[in-house]
Amino acid sequence: MFFLESHSSNTPSKRTSKKATSPCSVVDQQNAQKLNNFLKEQGYLHKEASTSKSAEHFRLLREKDGYDDSLIGSILQYYLDHFGERWMLECYSTKAFREKFLAIVRHKEKNNPDISPEAKKVVELLTKNKHWPKGSDQELPNAVQISMNNIGKWFNKFKSLNFKLTEQLSTFPKQGSERLKLPDKERMEYHRINNAVNYMERMKQTFWWTPEKFVYYWFLEFHDGLGKWDEFNGSLQGQILTTTHRRFNGMFLDFTVQYCGNTKRWDELKEMIKGV
């Protein structure tokens, strides 16, 4: 039996009411005015912008995107302080600022991070009774913090890989006589993993295995060589520690040659770490 569809008053209407939005805060309006005034001074705003409409994008940053006023204010100031610099994003409206907000946050983390107590301690040690020529001491805090962030991430990957390989090694028979009974392929895999673990253990014993110590000696070595570098212009940008830096690779290549007789083990380790 078929029934006619009921059209009672309980049936939801297809009409949708416009969702009410909360008003912009005083801070939203102040941020909008600050950015608009700056853009006008720089010649990028050729007509008076509506503060209420502009502030809407700061309200959305808070209420929809979930950022608090403190972070929004600090990132806005960071953007204004570094406006026009190489690699800084271009935002010629409050709408564009909201759209690129997270990218600006990442830019700050990469290029002008907050200096941690550990990094401040490293800088203190590096500048104690040491002369850093041509204003390079002013760049040292940022360079140290960024270097610590970079090597810290690499150390974490190294530790994760070391743990994973050690776990894999524990699945093989402990007695050498038992391992001899394994198929050739499994026996070769055991030796590959065992060699990698032994190599990594020797690395941990040889190098300064905390970001603070590693970065301290990294910049100390650079400073000690400054007396022979007449062309040094004071910039530490090229000395920031990255895992692709020529000096970083050279350090581990030299170690690997001394320990293994060739560079193969280091090349293999770099590939394994990429996969972590």
Residue 15: pLDDT band by 50, 70, 90 thresholds? very low
Spatial contact of 255 and 206, defined as CB atoms under 8 Å apart: yes
pLDDT of res. 21: 62
Query: What's this model's pTM, rounded to 2 decimal places?
Result: 0.68
Q: Please report, as a single letter, which amino acid is at residue 259.
A: Y
Q: What is the average per-residue pLDDT within 73-86?
A: 91
Q: In a 3-state reduction of DSSP, which class is residue 220? A: helix
Burial class (CB in 10 A: 0-12, 13-18, 19+), 181: exposed
Token reading at 210? 């905390």
The rounded distance, in Å, linking the Cα atoms of 238 and 229 is 14
Inform me whether the pLDDT recorded for 248 exceeds 90. Answer: yes
CA-CA distances (angstroms) from residue 173 to 162, 168, 180?
19, 11, 10
Residue ranges per structural domain of the chain: 26-111, 117-274
The rounded distance, in Å, linking the Cα atoms of 144 and 168 is 36
The rounded distance, in Å, linking the Cα atoms of 160 and 166 is 10
Residue 3: pLDDT band by 50, 70, 90 thresholds? very low
Largest CA distance in the chain: 98
Residue 5: pLDDT band by 50, 70, 90 thresholds? very low
Structure confidence by residue, pLDDT tens digits, 140-188: 999 999 999 999 999 999 999 999 999 998 998 888 888 788 888 998 9
